[in-house]
Amino acid sequence: ELKVEQNPLFLSMQEGKNYTIYCNYSTTSDRLYWYRQDPGKSLESLFVLLSNGAVKQEGRLMASLDTKARLSTLHITAAVHDLSATYFCAVDTEDSNYQLIWGAGTKLIIKP
């Protein structure tokens, strides 16, 4: 069964701190996606990681991919309140007919 597991599912942290969200997946895939969802809003694409060792950064967010470990990380540096949101990772594989399989999401609350 294709599975994408995120942890933690909930994270409350103070502004200025660093933290990492983990995304594990159960099948061979070279493509991993990170999306952000603000409360009550839609989802928007953050990063697409297309190969082993890929690293993408935008502002205080950095995502990386290790296809051998089937693991992606989303690292938050010096968190600010505006980064409060739910973050989803997703993968696509031949087994899923290249449709995205989603993690459950990590709800991140950053306190001022």
Partner 1 sequence: NAGVTQTPKFRVLKTGQSMTLLCAQDMNHEYMYWYRQDPGMGLRLIHYSVGEGTTAKGEVPDGYNVSRLKKQNFLLGLESAAPSQTSVYFCASARSGANVLTFGAGSRLTVL
CA distance 31 to 99: 11
Tokens 């290790």: give the residue: 66
Q: 16: phi > 0 → left, psi -120 to 50 → alpha, else beta; which? A: left
Report how many residues bind partner 1 under the rule CB under 8 A: 22
The CA–CA distances, whole Å, from 73 to 25, 55, 57, 67 equal 12, 10, 12, 11
Tokens 């099948």: give the residue: 27
From 23, 54, 85, 90, residue interacting with partner 1 (rule: CB under 8 A): 90
Tell me the two tokens of residue 18: 């660093």
Please choose, out of 15-23, 52-60, 61-69, 85-93, the segment that lies near partner 1 by the rule CB under 8 A.
85-93
Find the shortest distance in angstroms from Cβ 98 to partner 1: 7
From 56, 77, 102, 109, residue interacting with partner 1 (rule: CB under 8 A): 102
Read off the DSSP letter of residue 15. Answer: T
- Beta carbon nearer to partner 1, 97 or 112: 97
From 31, 56, 60, 75, residue interacting with partner 1 (rule: CB under 8 A): 31
Please choose, out of 12-20, 54-62, 74-82, 90-98, the segment that lies near partner 1 by the rule CB under 8 A.
90-98
